[in-house]
């Protein structure tokens, strides 16, 4: 029985307690962070250990967006550009050139992830950056223009597929207006529904066929003034599944973020009851994971269908000259292009 949860682990190899716990709970997938990734070889061994333990090609996620969000240190792969730089390319050199750069960036990020054994990347981030909002989004977002965000998000996702990774559209239905960091506090957005639909929701609607999505821990007062999207059946049913039309496998953002309150069991139960297919817990804390597991269970029939559809889209990356790929990307992004 595969459970509707994704867990992190504590270190660079599994402890005896983790082996027993993961074997017993059989999570849908795992997520790795910098603490788990010392070298490429060590990380590949960890991924193999996780898959061998569960006896299947379990999805293993990594946050490898480029820019300031990458769980792979520079001695594993070179530092990759922030998506905001590709958005600048669209504005200064044209959307066609930026789309090519985004597709190549996605393929590079996907191949980086596969190098260490991961097959799901927590990108593209298709939040629409808003002036004056908290910089938790900032240059992680492509642009303030929803059309540019949608076009470049699609290109990045196509590149991730080519690089052998499933993409995750985040943070649905939009994090760009947050005035505080949801890792530390609960953002509230008071924009009217029409403004949200034409701006924040638009890229997610354009990419509603992406196989995986991650919720935003944000209250949208025009939709549900009481609960953040992750815990709101109204946001999930009416907006994410309805207005946006997303029918992919929907996971929460990290349950340990301080935007959420209540016990970890309550957070897991509330997210799943609201309509999330999977819950995500990242920090590897065993006591918290045990509490999360209590609130979880087997995949629902709909979640199992969405999972099967998503995982069927995984493919091996083709043989390629990585140096030439990186050279082409650098030529697109060279300073003279942005002058």
Q: Which residues are catalytic?
A: 183, 253
Helix ranges, the chain (H): 16-25, 40-54, 83-93, 95-115, 146-162, 193-195, 202-206, 233-234, 264-274, 286-294, 301-311, 322-333, 335-338
Are 24 and 289 spatial neighbours (Cβ–Cβ below 8 Å)?
Answer: no
Q: Measured in whole angstroms, how far is the alpha carbon of residue 199 from the centre of its chain? A: 20
d(CA 241, CA 162) in angstroms, rounded, equals 27
What is the token pair recorded at 295? Answer: 């609130």
d(CA 166, CA 123) in angstroms, rounded, equals 9
Find, among 35, 15, 23, the residue nearest to 282 by Cα.
Answer: 35
Q: Which residue in the block uniquely carries the two structure tokens 């795992």? A: 30
Task: Classify residue 67 as exposed, middle or buried by CB count within 10 Å of its CB (0-12, 13-18, 19+).
Answer: middle
């Amino acid at each position: 029985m595969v459970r509707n949860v994704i867990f992190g682990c504590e270190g660079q190899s599994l402890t005896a307690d983790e082996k027993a716990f993961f074997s017993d709970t059989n999570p849908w997938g795992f997520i790795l962070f910098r603490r788990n990734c010392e070298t490429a070889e060590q990380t590949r061994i960890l991924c193999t250990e996780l898959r061998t333990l569960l006896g299947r090609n379990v999805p293993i996620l990594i946050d490898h967006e480029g820019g300031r969000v990458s769980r792979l240190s520079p001695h594993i792969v070179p530092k990759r550009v922030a998506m905001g730089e590709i958005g600048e390319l669209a504005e200064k050199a044209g959307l066609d050139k930026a789309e090519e750069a985004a597709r190549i960036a996605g393929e590079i990020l996907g191949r980086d992830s596969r190098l260490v054994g991961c097959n799901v990347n927590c990108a593209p981030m298709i939040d629409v950056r808003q002036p004056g909002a908290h910089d938790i989004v900032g240059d992680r977002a492509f642009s303030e223009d929803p059309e540019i965000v949608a076009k470049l998000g699609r290109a990045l996702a196509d590149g991730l597929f080519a690089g052998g990774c499933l993409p995750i559209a985040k943070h649905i239905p939009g994090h760009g207006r947050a005035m505080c960091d949801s890792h530390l506090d609960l953002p509230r957005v008071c924009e009217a529904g029409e403004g949200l639909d034409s701006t924040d929701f638009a890229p997610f609607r354009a990419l509603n066929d992406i196989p995986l999505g991650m919720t935003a821990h944000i209250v949208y007062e025009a939709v549900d003034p009481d609960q953040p999207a992750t815990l709101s059946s109204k946001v999930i049913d009416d907006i994410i599944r309805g207005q946006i039309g997303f029918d992919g496998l929907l996971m929460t953002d990290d349950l340990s973020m301080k935007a959420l309150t209540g016990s970890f069991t309550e957070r897991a139960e509330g997210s799943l009851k609201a309509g999330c297919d999977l819950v995500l817990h990242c920090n590897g804390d065993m006591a918290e994971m045990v509490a999360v597991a209590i609130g979880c269970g087997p995949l629902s029939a709909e979640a199992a269908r969405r999972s099967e559809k998503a995982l069927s889209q995984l493919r091996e990356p083709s043989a390629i000259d990585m140096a030439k790929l990186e050279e082409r990307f650098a030529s697109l992004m060279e300073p003279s292009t942005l002058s």
